[in-house]
């Protein structure tokens, strides 16, 4: 696998911990979007795309986020602390959609995304800087019928 492109969209809000969104292209054929660069307590880190974890209402079977207090479908009260805990004892509320599965791949990924972020930061200081557009339509992809 080869990372063939990294796009970085800087966020303008200086007070926010979210510093940028990235998209990474693999082998010029597959794109991973919504990768986040976040300012943490110990410096920057890369957060892979994730989704909120859900469970189902015991009364009606409706799907609800783990922090929901009432069912979105029937309005029944939901139990508190329904989320499983991670190895540090914290509630696990999100799950990665895509992520590296070994140390070597993670390091390569983090290095390339970090370098692209630093390059985009430098470009943003130049006069006439125009941020890249991340949401290009995929018009050339045939529909699945």
pLDDT digits (tens, 9 = 90+) for 90-130: 888 888 899 899 999 999 989 999 999 999 999 999 998 88
**Do the domain assignments include residue 75?**
yes
Instruction: Based on the fold, state whether residues 35 and 60 are members of the same structural domain.
Output: no
Q: What is the pTM of this model?
A: 0.72
Instruction: Based on the fold, state whether residues 26 and 2 are members of the same structural domain.
Output: yes
Higher pLDDT, 132 or 16: 16
| Torsion on CA atoms 31, 33, 39, 44, rounded to nearest 10 | -10
Report residue 37's pLDDT band, with 50, 70 and 90 as the boundaries: very high
Instruction: Based on the fold, state whether residues 45 and 62 are members of the same structural domain.
Output: no
**pLDDT at residue 132 in the model:** 80
Instruction: Based on the fold, state whether residues 39 and 101 are members of the same structural domain.
Output: yes
Instruction: Based on the fold, state whether residues 75 and 101 are members of the same structural domain.
Output: no
Give me the domain span that covers residue 124: 1-49+97-139
Instruction: Based on the fold, state whether residues 59 and 2 are members of the same structural domain.
Output: no
74-109 exposure pattern, b = at least 16 Cβ within 10 A, e = fewer: eeeebeeeebeeeeeeeeeeeeeeeeeeeeeeeeeb
**Do the domain assignments include residue 145?**
no
Instruction: Based on the fold, state whether residues 41 and 110 are members of the same structural domain.
Output: yes
Count of structural domains, the chain:
2
């Amino acid at each position: 696998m080869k990372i063939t492109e990294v796009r970085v969209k800087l966020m303008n809000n200086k007070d926010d911990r979210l510093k940028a969104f990235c998209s990474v292209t693999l082998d010029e054929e597959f794109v991973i979007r919504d990768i986040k660069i976040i300012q943490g307590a110990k410096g920057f880190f890369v957060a892979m795309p994730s989704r909120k974890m859900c469970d189902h209402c015991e009364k009606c079977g409706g799907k609800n986020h783990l922090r929901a207090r009432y069912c979105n479908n029937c309005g029944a009260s939901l139990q508190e602390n329904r989320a499983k805990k991670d190895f540090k004892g914290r509630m696990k509320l999100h799950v990665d959609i895509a992520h590296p599965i070994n140390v070597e791949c993670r390091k390569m990924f983090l290095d390339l995304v970090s370098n692209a972020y630093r390059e985009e930061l430098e470009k943003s200081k130049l006069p006439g800087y125009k941020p890249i557009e991340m949401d290009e339509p995929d018009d050339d992809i045939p529909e699945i019928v």
